[in-house]
Amino acid sequence: MGYSERHCQLCGVSFNVARIRKADEPESAAWGNYGIDFVTTADAARACEVEGCTNIPRTEHPDPLVSAEGEHIAGPNCELTLGYSGWRITAEEMRDILRCLCIAAKSEDWQPEVGDKDYEIDATYCFVAGVSHSPDEFSAEEMIPVKHGLEQTMINNEAMEGLGSDEEWAIPVHEACFQMFERVSREKLGKVDIDGLWRLRDSEGDWPEGFKDPLKRSDISIVSEQYFDCVKGTEYLVSHPLRITGLDQLINSCALDSEASCEVVFNVGQAVESHYDPFAALSPELCELLLGHLERRDVANLRLVSRSFRQLPQLYFRRIVETEMPWIWEVTTLKGRKVDWHDLWCRLSAADGGASMDTQERHWLQQLPQDKSENLRQQLRKEGLTGMEMSKEWAKRGLNFKQEVDDDIKAANDAGMWPADTRKATELRGLRNRRRIWEDLEEIVKRIAALPPVEEDEDAESRVW
Ligand SMILES: [Zn+2]
Ligand SMILES: [Zn+2]
């Protein structure tokens, strides 16, 4: 078995994801994997010869092979998946997100030291060690800070039981994901349960998904090849989920001055032929109460059939934002202010949504050539061609394939079939990543809560290695 990559136990993404800079960006905006400074075209299975891409010499590089290949510079349509293109994600969004924080086993003589958090001191099995910049397969080195004397450690996503090792391997996580774990665990379990995470890895840890019976892990399966595959449209997976440019601004722009009147949302609309509306007899308070018990789709239907619900109170949207988007904790800054909650809900949905649209678009792009070849096959059959004749005709007409596929894609883009530009304008990649991680964390914490209680004897035994 060859090289295999460790992933963040919490969110499933690797620690080694490269970025290919644009021509107008500094060298520091490019990086490769495992301490390599940049991506070269020759690294790719298929060289990128897309118009607009270039390769520039980097003669100062100590490795003559690398400097001979030159650094690949992304044009707008770069096709390399060795790194994310600078045209599709900023260096700022990716910076710091890939560092590996290690949750390491406590040694037998582990004693609290300055800086330990209460939950680390309370934990039986593990503590939060330092951060490594580029873990190499199973080993995380040069950890900063050095806590409890630990400068380097082995890391693994799988349960160690049965792997024939006496060593305790640390759990690798992204720093930002761990900060979110602290938040979710505190909220759902009343404490930061690192022991729970340790026990969960021991009972359900798996590779490459992180856990057996994988979590939803949106988009992870398409990027988790032997090396991380930077598939176009998955940039959000490596966008910093805590440092999100534009989020505070979006939230604050929905606060209104105290004079503004906006208790309800939507117009009453034109008077429709009066028909019996059983809800007309309900007081506004009862209507509001009813809304609180209905699914969003039912509310939409109710609006269509009952004039009493044509307009919806702002409070309805406030409740949606606060209960259905728990990962956007920044909305608490709006406390006590007058807010257009409907506007906020629409804009936050647009900012962290879009994932399903991306999936549909990717599926369509993959399916298009297959559909075309199937159509051609059927056409040739209809014409009665078989054997050699069919192969000959296939080769001849197949020549136009690529052009036809390109034309179809261009036509779809021109027709606005995939509103990439609109999406780009409203999407906050980091927020989308935060939502993805939060949803995974909720499941992880649920699994921790469901772990069988630790028996006293077993507990004592497991501390004597
Ligand atoms: Zn992560
Ligand atoms: Zn390229």
Span 157-175, pLDDT tens digits: 987 665 545 568 999 999 9
Q: Which residues contact 208 (CB under 8 A, 6 or more apart)?
A: 4, 5, 7, 12, 157, 224
CA distance 442 to 116: 25
CA of 375 to the centre of ligand 1 (A): 42
Phi and psi dihedrals of 101, rounded to 5?
-90, 135
User: Does the structure show a pLDDT above 90 at 442?
Assistant: yes
- CA of 53, nearest ligand number: 2
The three state secondary structure string of 29-96 is HCECCCCCCCCCHHHCCCCCCCCCCEEECCCCCCCHHHHHHCEEEECCCCCCCCEEECCCCCHHHHCC
3-state SS class at 382: helix
DSSP class of residue 413 equals H
CA of 237 to the centre of ligand 1 (A): 9
* % of the chain exceeding 90 in pLDDT: 35
3-state SS class at 128: strand
- pLDDT tier, 464 (very low <50, low <70, confident <90, very high otherwise): very low
The residues whose Cβ lies within 5 A of ligand 1, an ion, are 8, 10-11, 174, 177
- pLDDT tier, 76 (very low <50, low <70, confident <90, very high otherwise): very high
CA of 98 to the centre of ligand 1 (A): 8
CA distance 180 to 326: 12
pLDDT in tens, 185-238: 999 999 999 999 999 999 888 877 778 777 766 788 888 877 788 988 889 999
pLDDT of residue 161: 63
pLDDT of residue 413: 67
* % of the chain exceeding 70 in pLDDT: 84
CA of 253 to the centre of ligand 1 (A): 30
Higher pLDDT, 311 or 246: 246
CA of 93 to the centre of ligand 2 (A): 21
